[in-house]
Amino acid sequence: MQSLTAIDFSYNNLSGLVPGTGQFSYFNASSFVGNPDLCGPYLGPCSSAIEGAGSTHTRGPLSASFKLLLVTGLLICSIAFAVAAIIKARSLKKASEARAWKLTAFQRLEFTCDDVLDCLKEENIIGKGGAGVVYKGVMPNGEQVAVKRLPAAMSWGSSRDHGFSAEIQTLGRIRHRHIVRLLGFCSNHETNLLVYEYMPNGSLGEVLHGKKGGHLLWHTRYKIAVEAAKGLCYLHHDCSPLILHRDVKSNNILLDSDLEAHVADFGLAKFLQDSGTSECMSAIAGSYGYIAPEYAYTLKVDEKSDVYSFGVVLLELVTGRKPVGEFGDGVDIVQWVRRMTDSSKEGVLKILDPRLPTVPPDEVMHVFYVAMLCVEEQSVGRPTMREVVQILTDLPRPATTQGDDCEAPIREAQSSSSPPPDLLSI
C-alpha cells in the first residue's frame, strides 16, 4: 500500500521487530505506543530474545507448510507402496499357479518335470522351427531325450486349446517301429513341453544335404525310404482316426544310431493351425518345395498331400538335392526332374546324386518311378501310402517276394552275391 502514510498500531500488545523500510519509514513512534514489546529503528533496540522470537515467528509458517508437505508426501508414498504390494502379490500368485507343472506320461518314466526343465538351456538347443524349439536332454538315469517346447499359443487348458490335450493323448498312444515315440509331456498354463526319444543321427535332411551326405550309400537310402513309408502308412491306415502328418519332409524323418528312419512331428501342424499360430506358414500346410499343388486352390491337405510330400523326399534321396533353391527362381525339384528326365525312368541317370559311387540301376529307376507316381499333379492319380510301401518293396528282381501290407519286409538294396555296378561303367 504505497499510498499509506499514517496508521495507528497503538495499544494492541504487539511484539517483535518493526521494519524500517518501505512505507514503515513514514510512520513515527506515536503510531506504536502501548506496545512495549515492539522494537525498531525509532522504538529502541531489540533484545536478543525478542529478535529470536521474531525470527522464529517469521519462520513458523514456512516450517509448518514444509511439515504438511512432508506428511502428505509420506501418505501418498504409503498408499502407492500398499497398492504395488497388492499387485505384486497377485502377480506372484498367478505366476506360481502358471509354474505348477504337470507331467503326463505315456509309458513308465524315470524322470520328473524338474529334470525336463533342466534341459531348457541355450547350449542344449538342437533345432528350431515353426513347431517349436528342440532341446537335447540327459535324464538322471542317463537316458537321452529330445524336448520340444511348443509355441505359447499352444497352451494346455487355454481358450485356444481346441482339443490339444486329446490330440496329444492320441499321439502318445502310438507305438510303431518307424515313428518317433512320444514319451510324455510337461505342461502348465503357459507352456507345453513334449518329450520324445532322442535320435542320435539327427534328421535325414541334415545328413543328406550336409557334409555326411556322401556317406549315405544307396542301400541305406533305399532302406530309409521304405522305413519312412511304413511309418506314414501306419498313420494313414492303421490309426483310428487316421492321422495326417501335414508336414512330411526330410527334416521330419529322424535317424537313430543305426540310421533307421523314424517319422517325427506328425500331427503337430494341425495343432499349430488350430491354435491360430501364423508365425510359420511352412509348419501349418507343409514346407516350401513339399506342398502339394492342390493346396493352392483348396487350402486343405489330406492323405494324398502327404503322399506328394513323400514323393519329394524320394527325389531328394535319388538326386541328393534340396527341394528348392538349386534350380532357379520359381523352380522346385519336381519341375526340374520332369524337365531333365521327361518323366522317364531311364532318364534318372541324368539326375542321380554324383556322390553315390555305385548303385543298382534297376533299383534307382524303380524308386524314381515311385517318386513320380507320388508327385502326380492330380491327387487322384497318386497312390496311397499302403500302395507306396507295396510298390517300393516290390523291387524288379526275380528273387524278391512281393509284400501285401505296411509291414512288408525290406528288400536288400544290393545283391550279396555280387557288388552293384558302378554308374560310371554303365
Residue 23 burial class via C-beta count within 10 angstroms: exposed 0-12, middle 13-18, buried 19 and up: middle
Strand arrangement, sheet containing 132-138: 102-105, 182-187, 192-197, 144-149, 132-138, 125-129
User: Is 353 in the active site?
Assistant: no
Q: What cell numbers appear for 12 in the block?
A: 494492541
* Residue whose C-alpha cell reads 513309408 in the numeric block: 229
Residue 196 pairs in a beta bridge with: 146, 182
Helix (H, G, I), strand (E, B) or coil at 405: coil
CA–CA distance, 278 with 130 (Å, rounded to integer): 9
Q: What cell numbers appear for 74 in the block?
A: 509420506
Q: What cell numbers appear for 188 in the block?
A: 502348465
Angle at 229 between CA 309 and CA 134, to 5 degrees: 70
The residue annotated as part of the active site, out of 247, 265, 332, 353, is 247
Phi, psi of 108, deg, nearest 5: -70, 120
Contact 136, 121 (CB under 8 A): no
CA–CA distance, 89 with 377 (Å, rounded to integer): 60
**What count of Cα atoms within 13 Å lies in the side-chain half-sphere of residue 77?**
6
CA–CA distance, 265 with 254 (Å, rounded to integer): 10
Name the residue type at position 350: K
Contact 103, 184 (CB under 8 A): yes
Contact 229, 187 (CB under 8 A): no
List, by residue number, the catalytic residues: 247
